[in-house]
Structure 1
Amino acid sequence: MRIRGRTLSALLLATALGVSALSVDAFTAVASAPSDAPAVQAAARPHTGHVMGASALPSGDDADGDGYIPANPQVTGVTPSQEVPPRAYFHEFQANCSVTHTAPDDPIVYPGQPGASHDHTFMGNTSTNAHSTTASLTGGPTTCNAPADSSAYWMPSLYKGDQRILPVGPQVIYYKSGVTDYRSVRPFPRGLRFVVGSPTQSAQEFRSHKGFVEGWECGDSFFNVDFPASCPSRPDVQLNIRFQAPSCWNGLYLDTPDHKSHMAYPVVRPGTNDNMCPASHPVALPMIEFKMAFPVNGDMSQVRLSSGRGYSFHYDFFNAWEERTLKALVDHCVVGGLQCDTRGYDQNHPERGAVLNADHRLP
């Protein structure tokens, strides 16, 4: 049954996931996350921010423009693992990628609408723009160490005054297990996309966000919600931030109107310290962690993000990995309980070998 471009089952799912409820007469609008601004049409707006789920238009992968992109196939019948595996302190690999370009585009929040967003700094796939789709990104050129990683990664651009400050060299993007049973983690489905954090979040929302790790840091200053007033003026000092993404998927949609509700952070199993996926989002995926470094120090009073203050930091991920390579890395490093580099090699366990060859390709 379809009602004004949206399925009744989609509405019920949205309600179950906590997305803002919509009346039958308002089915043409999109659901918005509680911390985001109201839904508006994205025709012309200042580039000071963007609004999650602001405009669901027929575009790219979302042919009917309802904001829901179903997975094919959908993953059902999964029960979140409560098992406690053999202890492995690490279960990760790196997918390090360099900056490609900047643009006021966002193919997740404003698909098909070039110039509608604040300025973003893009990494990974060199072709990413407002019109990017799963098909256009897949197999595309990339600045990631592994040629099989054609995924798109982006974040608000950082400025000092009017000067844009771009990260130099490969930036560290971890793929980790966010759940205790790291053996239950499976690769991302192709075309999965989501937004981590929000450009409209308050300082307190940023600090209490489940993805918050150490905030902004430089030198001996860390756990800063906003940019520190100053950083040591030394060549070796950069402004850093680490922020983690949700890693539990509902198995049904590659995207939802607010670009978040199909994903969730792990929860603590009652009576334990173990993390597991919630029943509403039972599929354990890799947990992405951005570890970004910006070459700026000294007086930080003029440092800002294109989205606003330091606590407006957020980022986007659009998966376009070649599936065999991603599975090999996830199975060897995450499921295998190793601390891998970009080749899938753990120097503490050389006997386990590497996944990729010297050219970062599957042998």
Structure 2
Amino acid sequence: MRLTSQRLAGLLLGSALVAGVLGAGTIASATGPGGGVPPAVAAPAHPAGHNMAASTRASGDDADGDGYIPAVPQVTGVVPSTATPPPAYHHEFQAGCSVTHTAPDGPIVYPGQFGKSHDHTFMGNTTTDAASTTGSLYGGNTTCKAPADASAYWMPSLYKGDQKILPVGPQVIYYKAGVTDYRSVRPFPKGLRFVVGNPMQSAEEFRSHKGFVEGWECGDSFFNTDFPASCPDRPDVQLNLRMQAPSCWDGKYLDTPNHQSHMAYPVVKPGTNDNMCPTSHPVALPMIEFKMAWPVNGDMSQVRLASGRGHSFHYDFFNAWEERTLKAMVDHCIVGGLQCDTRGFDLYRPERGTVLNAEHRLP
């Protein structure tokens, strides 16, 4: 493929990201449709990192291996909204997705390269591995409450010593409006994927990251860039983290060589406190927010991530929602200015109804 100036810029940006140490972890057996959590396994002696440099392999959805996956069709002619919408305190819904399996695979950063990543904890689609593509994920089995959400969500596995600690039960993954004009948000395009954060980021970079919300927290300890030294040793205390993804899309690519430059965080509209998409990334999409909880407390001195210290936390998203269901949820909950649960129901606005039936399916 011809190397345009835009592609060259992306390749250089991708190469500029510091490469992590390559290596393999220990694969835990993937689950079947039931999505049960596998037993904990020993961590690799030297946790591997990501190499987020430009792709050089033709694999999966990237037929020519240049790292660019064009959207078909591309979204053009969009102007970021500067309008002030009717007041709405919330504009969101939840996707409750449980852990499926763990593996040293990274379908976005290392497509087709089994065992090359540090260990990841996967949620949602039960088949996610290094060879996952839009086609293999779409319509697949999932541990998300809505069967239409076959998307893949993953993050570095967490350990206490050599014991792998897995989140228990459905994890809260918010879909929110990241821009002030929540009415301008549209669904994710099929096959969109991106990485939030960087495993090689410093504590200062993690704290100043635009997606940083509350950092690591437990008990009365908040805004930590690394794991707290200790957490209250009580059954009701877990280690928590919240981190938000960029929500503005360039409308052109489903992925780029550094797995980030096709997405951007909203910017502040001059002279206001309103958030809007930048002109370079004019398409407003849902803002994903991970709200994760790990059942670990007490002495935290041996707690670490497969990617390293606590400030190395990052996560990946690969969209495989069934289009009609995602659009219905986005339109009703985000565009509609509601605070929805996983079915699209707002407890405080029951008169607005719900989107999905008791089985979390679109009627």
What TM-score, normalized to structure 1? 0.92
Are 2:299 and 1:299 equivalent residues in the alignment?
Answer: yes
Partner of 2:127: 127
What is the correspondence of 1:48-197 to structure 2 with a 5 Å cutoff? Answer: 48-53=48-53, 55-197=55-197
Residue 96 of structure 2 aligns to a residue whose secondary structure is coil
Are 2:13 and 1:12 equivalent residues in the alignment?
Answer: no
Structure 1 consecutive aligned stretches of length 4 or more whose deviation exceeds 4 Å: 42-47
Are 2:18 and 1:37 equivalent residues in the alignment?
Answer: yes
**Percentage of identical aligned residues:** 78
Structure 1 residue 199 displacement after superposition: 0.4
**Farther off after superposition, 55-64 or 279-288:** 55-64
Partner of 1:26: none
C-alpha deviations, 1:293-334, integer Å up to 9, x for none?
000000000000000000000000000000000000000000
C-alpha deviations, 1:142-184, integer Å up to 9, x for none?
0000000000000000000000000000000000000000000
Residue 32 of structure 1 aligns to a residue whose secondary structure is helix
Partner of 2:337: 337
Is this contact kept in 2: 1:39–1:53, CA < 8 A? no
Is this contact kept in 2: 1:192–1:319, CA < 8 A? yes
Residue 326 of structure 1 aligns to a residue whose secondary structure is helix
Which ranges of structure 2 fall in alignment gaps of 5 or more residues? 26-45
Structure 1 residue 6 displacement after superposition: 3.9
RMSD (Å), alpha carbons: 1.6
Is this contact kept in 2: 1:333–1:339, CA < 8 A? yes
| Code of the aligned partner of 2:18 | A
What TM-score, normalized to structure 2? 0.92
> For the residues of structure 2 that align with 1:270 and 1:33, how far apart are their CA atoms?
33
Which ranges of structure 1 fall in alignment gaps of 5 or more residues? 22-30
Structure 1 residue 14 displacement after superposition: 5.6
Partner of 1:281: 281
| Code of the aligned partner of 1:256 | T
Is this contact kept in 1: 2:137–2:320, CA < 8 A? yes
Structure 1 residue 32 displacement after superposition: 1.5
> For the residues of structure 2 that align with 1:254 and 1:222, how far apart are their CA atoms?
35
| Code of the aligned partner of 2:219 | G
Decide whether aligned partners of structure 1 residues 105 and 54 sit closer, same or farther in structure 2, where only a CA change above 3 A counts: farther
Report the count of equivalent residues: 343
Is this contact kept in 2: 1:32–1:39, CA < 8 A? no
> For the residues of structure 2 that align with 1:79 and 1:294, how far apart are their CA atoms?
41
| Code of the aligned partner of 1:37 | V
Residue 118 of structure 1 aligns to a residue whose secondary structure is coil
> For the residues of structure 2 that align with 1:55 and 1:360, how far apart are their CA atoms?
37
Structure 1 residue 39 displacement after superposition: 9.7
> For the residues of structure 1 that align with 2:119 and 2:110, how far apart are their CA atoms?
13
> For the residues of structure 2 that align with 1:49 and 1:218, how far apart are their CA atoms?
26
> For the residues of structure 2 that align with 1:44 and 1:150, how far apart are their CA atoms?
26
Decide whether aligned partners of structure 1 residues 43 and 242 sit closer, same or farther in structure 2, where only a CA change above 3 A counts: closer
Structure 1 residue 50 displacement after superposition: 1.0
Is this contact kept in 2: 1:183–1:335, CA < 8 A? yes
> For the residues of structure 2 that align with 1:38 and 1:129, how far apart are their CA atoms?
21
Partner of 2:267: 267
Decide whether aligned partners of structure 1 residues 59 and 301 sit closer, same or farther in structure 2, where only a CA change above 3 A counts: same
Structure 1 residue 55 displacement after superposition: 3.6
Is this contact kept in 1: 2:125–2:141, CA < 8 A? yes
> For the residues of structure 2 that align with 1:44 and 1:177, how far apart are their CA atoms?
37
